[in-house]
């Protein structure tokens, strides 16, 4: 069984509210509810009385809370004891990054940083923002490389996990080109629906796009045609002319230069994203500390 389910359950037991617990665990409420339900199926008994407000633990839930607390306490203590036995600091550095940043931004950025730092062995893992935050907080990775935007801030304790802004990214709508002209335009013509390619609802870039559309001076009639959780997936669909896609600029270098994708829409359809590098608890990891210092000096 995944220990995250135990952490979810204890968080719910403490907050007595599915919505607040889901926010604290960095998942959507439906996903959080499914995780609690899967734990109840594994235990073989309902743990939460969903008919009360605030929610209450059942008698089985009260008993299982003690079990979950004991298991996690032993696991965390065992991990701390092993670390105190003497960590060489030579373990590979682990970095988790948003998909598009891992594929397009990180390699070029690391090449620039090499002037002040000789890279050591590290592992780069592409994943979603929420899985990345969970991995950083859980001590599973050393660094987290993600986008940030005022409309969808990264909800993480910055005193415990400090960050450095390492770049910025333009985020705007693009269209495929037909006969030398954009196939789609973001014009406000009455009765005209514009097909667009959407991110799945829980993705960071979806939330940024929602904020852009909500702040338009005059709305446009968009018709969602397809959705994909990854920016590269939407880029492939846009290249084949399925609709308008909002994409980070760095993933479209060749396509923009070769004029197979073009930027469309006025400036209010666009925004700028921060690129942040968050640091985990790496005080005992000399190689990771050296890399962090090189990053922030760069």
Find the range with the poorest average confidence among 35-39, 49-53, 210-214: 49-53
> Which of 140, 157, 161, 249 is CA-nearest to residue 205?
249
Give pLDDT tens digits for 5-33: 888 899 899 888 998 888 888 788 888 89
| Model confidence pTM above 0.75 | no
pLDDT given for residue 1 in this prediction: 58
CATH topology assigned to domain 93-149+277-297: D-Maltodextrin-Binding Protein; domain 2 (3.40.190)
Alpha carbons 142 and 278: distance in angstroms, whole number = 9
- In this chain, the answer to whether the domains covering 3-84 and 169-273 adopt an identical fold is no
**Could you say which architecture CATH assigns to the domain 169-273?**
3-Layer(aba) Sandwich (3.40)
pLDDT tens column, 162-181? 999 999 999 999 999 998 89
**What pLDDT was estimated at residue 298?**
65
**Residue 11: phi, psi to the nearest 5?**
-65, -45
CATH number, domain 3-84, options 1.10.3720.10, 3.40.50.2300, 3.40.640.10, 1.10.10.10? 1.10.10.10
| Interatomic CA distance for residues 152 and 171, integer angstroms | 14
DSSP per-residue letters across 46-89: --EETTSSS-EE-HHHHHHHHHHHHHHHHHHHHHHHHHHT---S
Please report the beta strands in 135-264, taking only residues with DSSP state E, as ranges in sequence order.
143-148, 163-178, 181-182, 194-198, 222-227, 244-248, 261-263
Does the structure show a pLDDT above 90 at 79?
no
pLDDT tens, position by position, 194-213:
999 999 887 889 989 999 99
In this predicted structure, the answer to whether residue 235 has a pLDDT above a threshold of 60 is yes
- Examine the pLDDT at 87 and tell me if it is beyond 60: no
């Amino acid at each position: 069984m995944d220990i995250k389910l135990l952490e979810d359950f204890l968080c719910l037991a403490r907050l007595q509210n599915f919505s607040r617990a889901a926010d604290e665990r960095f998942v959507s409420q439906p996903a959080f509810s499914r995780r609690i339900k899967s734990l109840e199926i594994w235990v073989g008994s309902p743990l939460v009385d969903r008919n009360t407000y605030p929610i209450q633990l059942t008698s089985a839930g009260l008993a299982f809370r003690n079990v979950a607390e004991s298991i996690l306490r032993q696991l965390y203590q065992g991990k701390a004891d092993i670390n105190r036995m003497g960590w060489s600091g030579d373990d590979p550095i682990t970095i988790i990054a948003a998909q598009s940043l891992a594929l397009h931004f990180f390699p070029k950025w690391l090449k620039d940083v090499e002037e002040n730092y000789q890279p050591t062995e590290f592992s780069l893992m592409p994943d979603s923002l929420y899985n990345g935050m969970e991995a950083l907080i859980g001590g599973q990775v050393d660094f987290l490389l993600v986008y940030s935007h005022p409309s969808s801030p990264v909800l993480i304790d910055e005193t415990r996990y400090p960050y450095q802004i390492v770049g910025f990214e333009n985020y705007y709508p693009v269209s495929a080109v037909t006969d030398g002209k954009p196939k789609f335009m973001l014009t406000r013509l009455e009765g005209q629906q514009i097909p667009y390619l959407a991110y799945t609802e829980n993705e960071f870039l979806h939330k940024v796009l929602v904020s852009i559309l909500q702040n338009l001076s005059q709305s446009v009639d968009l018709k969602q045609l397809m959705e994909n959780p990854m920016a590269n997936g939407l880029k492939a669909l846009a290249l084949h002319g399925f609709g308008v896609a909002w994409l980070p600029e760095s993933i479209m270098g060749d396509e923009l230069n070769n004029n197979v994708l073009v930027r469309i829409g006025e400036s209010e359809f666009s925004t700028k994203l921060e690129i942040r590098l968050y640091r985990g608890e790496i005080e005992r990891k000399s190689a990771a500390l050296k890399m962090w210092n090189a990053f922030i000096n760069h």
